[in-house]
Chains A and B, each alone.
Chain A
Amino acid sequence: MKYLQLICIDPQAAGTPEAAQAMAEHVEPWVRDKDARGVRILGKPLDDPANARTVRVRDGRTLISDGPFADTKEFIAGLDILDCESLDEAIEVAAEHPVSWFHAIELRPFAGELEIPAHLDDERLRQLLIPCIDGIPESDEVEQQLRLDIDAYRELVDARGVRVMGGPLAAASTATTVRVRDGKTLLSDGPFVETKEFMAGIDILSCESFDEALELAGAHPLARFHRVEVRRFVDL
C-alpha cells in the first residue's frame, strides 16, 4: 500500500531550539534508514508556503492567487511517499520521524495503484501540483467527465515528459494524523487540519520553470471547477 506522508508544521511549535536540534540530528538518519528498509519511495521538503500559488480557471480566465489552497496557520512543509505493508507499518515509520515529535504527520493512502518510475532522480523532483476539491461536490455527470479529463490530462503531461509521478488520493476521511508526545504515539482520525478544502491527489513535476508548472496547473481539469496549488521542492 502506498501512502502520502505529509510533513505538517504547526508554526507555534516551530522554532524552539529543541525542535530545531531534533530535526537537524534525526531527519537524515530517518531518510537513510527508511530508504534502506525500502519503505520510502521518495521525499523532499517544500519551499515556504508564502511562495505557493493557487490556480483557478473561471470563464476561460486563469486566476492565480498567492499562498496555499487552504488558509490555515498549519502548513505542509514537505512530503514523502511510503510503501508499507499496512497502516500500522506506516504509523510506525511516521512516528520515527522527528516532525511527529513536535508537529504532526498526516498519512493519506493513495487511491488505486500508483505507478513508480524505474529510476527516480532526486534532481527531477521540482514542483508539486496539488489538485484540491473545495468542498462543493459537482453533479455526478461532471465528476465522471472530470475523471476522464484527468486521465487525458495525465497523458498530455506524460507526453511532455515532465511528470515524475503522482496519482489520486483516497478520501480525506481515510487520513490518519500521527503525533508522538511523551514517547506515546497518538493517532487521530482525519487530516491534520479540518478545512472544507481537501487534497484530491498529487502530481510531481520536473518542469524547467515555475511558470511552466503554473501553466500545467491551469490546464488541470480540476482548475476549472476547484483549484490547483503549485509548490516548489527545495533541497534538504
Chain B
Amino acid sequence: MNGTVEQAVQTAFADEWGRIVATLIRRTGNWDLAEECAQEAFAQALVSWRRDGVPARPGAWLTTVAANRALDRIRRGARGAQLLEQLAHDPLAGTGHDGEREMIEDDRLRLMFTCCHPALALEARVALTLRTLTGLTTAEIARAFLVSEQTMAKRLTRARAKIAAAAIPYRVPPPELLVERTGGVLAVLYLLFNEGYLASSGEQPIRAALCAEAIRLARLLCELLPADSEASALLALMLLQHSRRDARVDSAGELVTLEHQDRGRWHRDEIAQASALLGAAGPLAGGPARAGHYRLQAEIALCHVQPRTDWVRVRDLYGLMLEASDSPVVALNHAVAVAMAGDLDAGIALVGELVQRDQLASYHLVHATHADLLRRRGELAAALPAYQRALELAPSPAERSLLRRRISELSGGPC
C-alpha cells in the first residue's frame, strides 16, 4: 500500500511539479514562495494520501494544497493584506474555471520563457529551468554541474532576485519576439541535454536524468507550441541521440564509435518516434525558406541510424548547414561527410585546411578526424602525430582512452 502511495507521489511529482510552481508564480508573483509551497504540498500528499487514499485528480489536489499554503503564508506576512487584495482581484483566482485551465496550460510556457530569458546568465537559465520546471533539487543540479550546493543556491537566488527587481516579465513573448525567444529556450534545452549526453565528467545517474528531463521539457514545449517546427526537430534530434545511449559505452566504460555500436541495443521505439516527427515536418526546404538548424541536425542523425548511412545525403545536409553558418565544427563534419561519400582526397584536403585555422588548432576532434581519414587512405605515418596531438587535447577520459587505442593499433602494439 505504502509503495503505491509513494509511487503515486513520485508520478505526480514528475507530471505536476512544473505546472504547480508555474501557476503559483503567476498567482503570487513570488518564485521562492511558489517553490516552497509546492514542496510542502508534496510532503503533505505523502501523509494525506496514505491516510485517505490517492485522490482522483492528484494534480488538482496538489495545486489546491499548495495554493492554500501560499495564501496562509501571505496572510501571515508583513505585506499580506496588500497582496491578498491583489489576489482577490484576480478574476481567475478560483479553480475549475475554464479560463483558469487555459491559464494553467500557458503557465508552464510562461515559466519556460521566463527561466530562459536572455537577460539572465546562461548558466542561471539552465539551473532555473531545472529547478522550477523539473523539480530537481538544488543539490542534484549542483552535482550535475560540478559546483558546490552553496554556489548553485546562490546562482538560483541571484537569478530569482533579478527577475523580480528588474521586472523580467512572466509571459509568453509577443509575436515579434516569439521566434527569437523560442530559439533561446531550445538552446537551453539542448545544452541541458548535451550536458547529460556528452558526459565529459560528473556522476552517471544525474547525467542520464539530465537527458531524460531535457527530452521531457522538449516534449512539453512541442505540446505547447505545436506550430514550432524547430521545437519538434529538437525533440527528434534528442530522441535519436538518446536512443543510442546503451550502445555508446561498452562494458568497460569505453566510448564506442557509431560504426562499431551494437545496433541491437538501440531503442527502436525512440528512433521510430523521431522519424515520425521528422516525417510530419514535410520535405526539406532549401533557399531562403531553408530548414532550421535543429531540423538539419535531426535529419543527419536519422541518416546515421539507418541500416546503411546514406553519406551523400549527409554530405548535402551538412552543405545546407554550412550555407547558414560558418561554424568550424559544421565545416569539419561536412569534410568528413565528403570523404565518406566517396571522395576521400577532397575530404582530407578540407580537414587539412581546418587544421590550419586558429579557432580549431586546439580542438581535439579536428586532429582526431584528420588522423582517421589519413589512416583510411593508408598513410599511417602521417596519422600517428595527428592522433598524438588529439590525445594531448582531448578533455574526457573516455575520449583519451579511445585515442590511445588507435595509437597503439597504429604503432603495432600497446603503447
Contact = CB atoms under 8 A, between A and B. Distances in A.
Interface stretch (A57-65, A83-91, A194-202): A83-91
Contact of B119 (A1, A91, A111, A171): A91
B162 interface: yes
Contacts of A87: 117, 119, 166-169
B158 A173 contact: yes
Given A187-B119, A189-B124, A174 B166 contact: yes
Interface string B108-152: 000000000111110010000000000000000000000000000
A109 B165 contact: yes
A88 B176 CA distance: 12
A86 B119 contact: no
Contact of B165 (A84, A86, A111): A111
B56 interface: no
Contacts of B167: 1, 84-87, 109
B177 interface: yes
Contacts of B119: 87, 91, 176, 187, 189
Contacts of A176: 119, 166
A119 B162 CA distance: 31
A52 interface: no
Contact of B161 (A1, A91, A173, A175): A173
A157 interface: no
B170 to A, nearest CB: 9
A189 B120 contact: yes
B292 interface: no
Contacts of B169: 85-88
Nearest to B123: A189
A170 B165 contact: yes
Interface in A1-56: 1, 3
B159 to A, nearest CB: 9
A1 B165 CA distance: 9
B58 interface: no
Nearest to B181: A88
A86 B168 contact: yes
A176 B117 CA distance: 11
Which of A3, A107, A187 has the most chain B CB atoms closer than 10 A to its own CB?
A187
A171 B165 CA distance: 9
Interface in B285-334: none
A93 to B, nearest CB: 13
Contacts of A189: 119-121, 124, 162
A85 B169 CA distance: 9
A170 B162 CA distance: 9
Contacts of B158: 173
A190 B119 CA distance: 9
A3 B161 CA distance: 16
Interface string A165-193: 00000110111100000000001011000
Q: Closest 7 CB pairs between A and B?
A: A86-B169, A189-B121, A170-B165, A1-B167, A176-B119, A174-B165, A187-B118
Interface of B: 117-121, 124, 158, 161-162, 165-169, 173, 177
28 contacts: A1-B166, A84-B167, A85-B169, A86-B167, A86-B168, A86-B169, A87-B119, A87-B167, A87-B168, A87-B169, A88-B168, A88-B177, A91-B119, A109-B165, A109-B166, A170-B165, A171-B165, A173-B158, A173-B161, A174-B162, A174-B165, A174-B166, A176-B166, A187-B118, A187-B119, A189-B119, A189-B121, A190-B121
